[in-house]
């Protein structure tokens, strides 16, 4: 019986209990508009979470994800507003994200800067670069255009909200990718034990670079959903603590920070729990700062439990693995 219990199932059960609890206890929780906004938020967190999961499975982490998302999509909107073709702008935005991913990957794989440090600094650099050279104002609005592209975040397909469809697609692709492609398997191997992976002949460094490129591209997808859902992109989002929500989702779902474990299912479970929690707190009218404290304490507890469940292995812990 106890063997049936793992973090994924426990978290799933808590999510269900919370959902039922909020539905009964909080008026307005089950209302159509609330569920819609819950799903939107959850989907965005989920898409980002899948990107982050790829990194964490490969024993990395990407703190520059939100910055990349904000700056590349905001830049795209700036270009579209100034008359550039939408698809060209999208291509350029993706290109920008890919460059960020490559720089991250090179710093981490080849220069051997600890991932958490490299991406923290890259987040600052990307934001600074974007604000200095690409984007003038704080908030960039969506152009008035009827292209289907602008309904990614708000419309529905057969009654299912589009963000959910996007989340599902990203999740499906990522799951197939991690399970069935060579790169996906390599990613697990690298996360499990870099030294062994290297001796076995896996191209460890290219795998790590590819990892961060992938994360950056997924960040753009999430950014498009964000921008089209609220018809604007607020660049100050890059300064927020959203990236820790993403880590929270991943770690809570049961993907160990020591790498090599977990999958897309864990992200979905974690996303549901955090989405319900955040929504519930918003309805309860808790302030932004109070919510921050709640989330942080939960994250701290999650890391604590993670440390106890996946104790750091002194044999494979790298020097400078902080």
Partner 1 sequence: MSLSENMTRWRYKYVPDKAIGEILSKNWIDTLIPAFFLSVVLIIFGTQMPTFLSAANLSDIGRIYGEYLFIAIGLTIVMMAGGIDLSVGSTFALCNFVALSFINYMEWPIAVGMIVVVAVGAFVGLINGILIGYLRLRAFLTTLVMLIIVRAIVDMLLLDYAMIIGRGFNMSPVWEFMALGDILGLPASLMAAIAVAILAHITLTRLRFGWHVMAVGGSRRSAFNAGIKVKRTVCLTYVISGALCGLAACFYAARLSSASADVGRGLEVTILTAVVLGGISLGGGRGSVVKAALGTLIILLVQNSLIQMGFLSGNSSLILGGVLLAAVAIDVRWVKNRHKVLARAYVSPTYFKLPDLPDTSQGSDSPYALNDKLRGVEAIGLGELDGPEDMIFDRDDNMYCGSRHGDVMRIFAPDYKRVEVFAHIGGHPLGMAFDAEDNLHVCVGGMGLFKVAPDRTVTKLSDETNRSWTSIVDDSRLRLADDLDIAPDGRVFFSEATVRYEMYDWMVDALEARGNGRIICYDPKTDTSRTVVPNKQLPNGICVEFEGQSLLYAETWGCRITRYWFDGPKKGQTEVIIENLPGYPDNINRASDGTYWCALCGMRSPVFDLAQEMPGFRRRMVQAVARDDWLYPNMNTGCVIKFDRDGNILDTLWDLGGEAHPMITSIREHKGYLYLGGIYNNRVGRYPIEGADQNWTSSVSYWGKNRGGTRK
Residues that bind partner 1 (CB under 8 A): 107, 111-114, 116-118, 120-125, 127-132, 241, 244, 247, 257, 287, 289-290, 292-293, 295-297, 299-300, 303-304, 307, 311-312, 314, 319-322
Closer CB to partner 1, 13 or 304, in the complex: 304
Cα–Cα distance, 32 to 39 (Å, whole number): 11
Quickly count: other Cβ atoms within 10 Å of residue 175's Cβ. 17
157 sits in which H/E element? strand 156-157
Tell me if residue 234 falls in helix, strand or coil: strand
- To partner 1, the closest distance from the beta carbon of 273 in angstroms equals 18
Closer CB to partner 1, 4 or 322, in the complex: 322
Q: Is 254 exposed, middle or buried (0-12, 13-18, 19+ CB in 10 A)?
A: buried
- To partner 1, the closest distance from the beta carbon of 77 in angstroms equals 17
- To partner 1, the closest distance from the beta carbon of 203 in angstroms equals 20
Closer CB to partner 1, 156 or 307, in the complex: 307
Closer CB to partner 1, 129 or 183, in the complex: 129
Tell me if residue 139 falls in helix, strand or coil: strand
Tell me if residue 160 falls in helix, strand or coil: strand
Closer CB to partner 1, 123 or 184, in the complex: 123
Closer CB to partner 1, 129 or 149, in the complex: 129
DSSP assignment letter at 143:
P
- To partner 1, the closest distance from the beta carbon of 118 in angstroms equals 7
Cα–Cα distance, 195 to 59 (Å, whole number): 12
Tell me if residue 257 falls in helix, strand or coil: coil
- To partner 1, the closest distance from the beta carbon of 131 in angstroms equals 3
- To partner 1, the closest distance from the beta carbon of 306 in angstroms equals 9
Yes or no: say if 112 and 102 are a contact pair by the CB < 8 Å rule.
Answer: no
Q: Taking the C-alpha atoms of 257, 262, 264 and 267 in order, what is their torsion angle to the nearest 10 degrees?
A: -50
Residue 160 β-bridge partners? 157
Closer CB to partner 1, 151 or 205, in the complex: 205
- To partner 1, the closest distance from the beta carbon of 228 in angstroms equals 25
Yes or no: say if 249 and 274 are a contact pair by the CB < 8 Å rule.
Answer: yes
């Amino acid at each position: 019986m106890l063997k049936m219990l793992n973090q994924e199932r426990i978290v799933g059960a808590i999510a269900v209990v919370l959902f039922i609890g909020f539905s009964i206890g909080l008026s307005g929780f089950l209302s159509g508009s609330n569920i819609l906004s819950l799903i939107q938020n959850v989907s965005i967190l989920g898409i980002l979470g899948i990107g982050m999961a790829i990194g964490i499975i490969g024993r990395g982490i990407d703190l520059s994800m939100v910055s990349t998302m904000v700056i590349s999509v905001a830049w795209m909107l700036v270009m579209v507003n100034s008359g550039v073709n939408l698809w060209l702008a999208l291509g350029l935005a993706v290109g920008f994200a890919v460059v960020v991913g490559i720089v991250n990957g090179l710093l981490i794989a080849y220069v051997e800067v600890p991932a958490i440090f490299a991406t923290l600094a890259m987040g600052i650099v990307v934001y600074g670069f974007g604000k200095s050279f690409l984007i003038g104002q704080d908030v960039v609005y969506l152009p008035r255009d009827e292209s289907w592209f602008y309904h990614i975040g708000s419309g529905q397909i057969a009654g299912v909200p589009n963000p959910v469809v996007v989340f599902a697609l990203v999740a499906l692709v990522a799951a197939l990718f991690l399970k069935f492609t060579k790169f996906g398997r390599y990613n697990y191997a690298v996360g499990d034990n870099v030294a062994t992976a290297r001796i076995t002949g896996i191209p460890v460094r290219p795998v790590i670079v590819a990892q961060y490129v992938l994360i950056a591209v997924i960040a753009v997808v999430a950014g498009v959903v964000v921008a089209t859902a609220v018809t604007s992109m607020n660049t100050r989002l890059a300064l927020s603590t959203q990236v820790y929500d993403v880590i929270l989702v991943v770690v809570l779902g049961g993907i160990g920070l020591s790498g090599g474990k977990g999958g897309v299912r864990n992200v979905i479970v974690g996303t549901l729990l955090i989405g319900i929690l955040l929504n519930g707190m918003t309805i309860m009218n808790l302030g932004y700062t109070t919510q921050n404290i709640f989330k942080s304490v939960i994250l701290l507890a999650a890391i604590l439990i993670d440390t106890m469940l996946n104790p750091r292995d002194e044999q494979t812990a790298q020097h400078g693995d902080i």
